[in-house]
Structure 1
Amino acid sequence: MQRFVSLSLFWVFATLSILVGCSSKPVRHLASDAALVEPGKSTRQDVLRYLGKPDRRRSISPGVEEYVYYNEKKGFLAGLPLVGGMVDPESYEMILVTLDGDTVTDSDFLIHKEDDKDWAADQDGDELP
């Protein structure tokens, strides 16, 4: 009987571990979300509906605000248990939305990759054809 209880507890624990390992947080798709925001047409309410609460807000001038949405893109190793938290992001995505009052006046989508800095190490530059 004791062996049956131990074996049952093992399977319950194993099943729960697998289910917890498969759970994930929602994924943000900033590139497609950025296409929903149209300068001159979209309002503050549209931006909040499409993109949610901004990661940062800053005041540019009286009545003009900038919303910043930020997302780190991590590689395969980031999804692994234990070591995933130690992996640096491979790239960053950002949406900058400028609001004048309640109307969107500008929207920019930016991508920064870590290897974009490689050009700085190449002092000779690329040869042109």
Structure 2
Amino acid sequence: MTCTLSETLAVVGERWALLIVREVALGLRRFDELRAATGAPRGVLSDRLQRLIAAGVLATRDYRVPGSRARQEYVLTEAGLDLLPVLAAFSDWGEKHLVDGGVPEVVYRHTGCGGRVTARLVCECGGDADVHERVIAQVNR
């Protein structure tokens, strides 16, 4: 059996990985932009970007500034886009348990109406799953 949580953490559980995903989702695409936004050291950022590319979370595409050599920018793949609910969930948790009335740095919003996006557990039947009453973890070993 495969422990999907363990494998997921091996991809995005390292320091900086989810911050990089967040910044790319916010529209930053270039190495120096990501470095400035995250504060990650150059070597660490390079390593995390390569790991996220190898895991299929990010992809690269070429761009060229006129008069300059071709460079690469980073974009989210479908797997990277699928991490956005995880980022929203982490943000919700941090706002609830860590921030004392402060304003969160990033708020996730629906582009259609501008409303705030939050994460929630939904059962395959379509109903909301209340973690205090109806959610259990099942081990398939």
Comparing both structures, which one devotes a greater share of its residues to strand? 1
Q: Same fold (TM over 0.5)?
A: no
Larger radius of gyration: 1
* Length-normalised TM-score, structure 1: 0.30
* Length-normalised TM-score, structure 2: 0.28
Kindly indicate whether structure 1 or structure 2 has the higher relative contact order, using CA contacts under 8 Å at least 6 residues apart. 1
